[in-house]
Chains A and B, each alone.
Chain A
Amino acid sequence: MSWTTSRRARLLAGVVAAVAVIVALLMTGLGRDPSVFASPLVGRMAPNFTLPQLDGPPVTLARLRGQIVVINFWASWCTECQDEQAALDQVWQQFQDSGVVVIGVNFQDTAGAARAYVRTDAVTYPVVEDAGSKTALAYGLRGVPETFVVNRSGRIVKHVIGPVDAAGLAAEINSTLGTGAR
Chain B
Amino acid sequence: MSQLGTYLLLFALAVSGYGLLAAVVGAKTGRPALVESARRCAFGLFAAMAAACATMLAALLSNDFAIRYVADNSALQTPTFFKALSLWAADDGSLLLWNLILAGYIAAVALRFRRDRPPTFPYALSVLFGVQVFYLILINGPARPFASLANPPADGRGPAPLLQNHPLMAVHPPFLYLGFIGFTVPFAFGVAALLTGRGSDQWVSVIRRWTLVVWCFLTIGLVLGALWSYSVLGWGGYWAWDPVENVALLPWLMSTAFLHSVMLQERRGMARLWNIALVIGAFALMTFGTFLTRGNVLSSVHAFAQTSVGPAYLAFLALVLVAGFGLVAWRLPELRTPASLTSAISREGAFVANNVLLLAATAIILLGTTFPLVVEAVSGQQITVGGPYFRSAVTPVFLLILLLAGTAPLLPWRATNRSRAFRRLRVPATAAALVMIATAWAGVHQVAAVAGFGLAALVFVTNGQEILSGLAIGRRGMRGGALSALARGRRRHAGLVVHMGLALVAAGIIASSSLAEQTQVTLKTGQSTVFAGQVLRYQGLHADRQPQRIVFTTAVSVMNPRGGPAGTLDPRMNLYPAATAPIGSPSIRRGIVWDLYASLISLQEDGRSATFRFYHNPGVNWLWLGGLVMALGGAAAAWPARRRDPRDDPGASVTRKRTAVEVGAR
Contacts and interface: CB of A to CB of B under 8 A. Distances in A.
A47 to B, nearest CB: 14
A12 to B, nearest CB: 5
Interface string B289-302: 00100011101111
B318 A15 contact: no
A30 B322 contact: no
Interface stretch (B369-377, B459-467, B537-545, B653-661): B369-377
Contacts of A136: 580
Contacts of B302: 142-143, 161
B154 A76 contact: yes
Contact of B291 (A18, A26, A110): A26
A79 B374 contact: no
A15 B330 CA distance: 10
Interface string A14-54: 11101100110111111011110100000000000000000
B579 A113 contact: no
A26 B322 contact: no
A11 interface: yes
Given A26-B314, A30-B311, A142-B302, A76 B580 contact: no
Given A12-B326, A26-B314, A34-B305, A143 B578 contact: yes
B155 interface: yes
Contact of B314 (A16, A27, A77, A112): A27
Contacts of B370: 25
A3 B301 contact: no
Interface in A41-99: 75-80, 82
B367 interface: no
A78 B318 contact: no
A28 B376 contact: yes
B543 to A, nearest CB: 15
B329 interface: yes
A126 interface: no
A61 B523 CA distance: 39
Q: Describe B's contact surface by its main secondary structure.
A: loop
Nearest to A8: B330
B325 A15 contact: yes
| Best-surrounded residue of A18, A108, A112 (most CB of chain B within 10 A) | A108
Contacts of B156: 77
Interface in B150-172: 150-151, 153-158
A29 B155 contact: no
Contact of B154 (A25, A34, A116): A116
Contacts of A174: none
Contacts of B304: 34-35, 80, 162-163
A121 interface: yes
Nearest to A22: B321
Interface stretch (B3-11, B37-45, B68-76, B229-237): B68-76
Interface of B: 68, 71-72, 75, 149-151, 153-158, 291, 295-297, 299-305, 307, 310-311, 314, 317-318, 321-322, 325-326, 329-330, 332-333, 370, 373-374, 376-377, 577-581
Please give me the 10 A-B residue pairs with the lowest Cβ-Cβ distance, nearest first.
A29-B297, A28-B377, A3-B333, A11-B329, A108-B577, A113-B154, A19-B321, A30-B310, A34-B303, A15-B325
Interface of A: 1, 3, 8, 11-12, 14-16, 18-19, 22-23, 25-30, 32-35, 37, 75-80, 82, 108, 110, 112-113, 116-117, 120-121, 133, 136-137, 140-144, 161-163
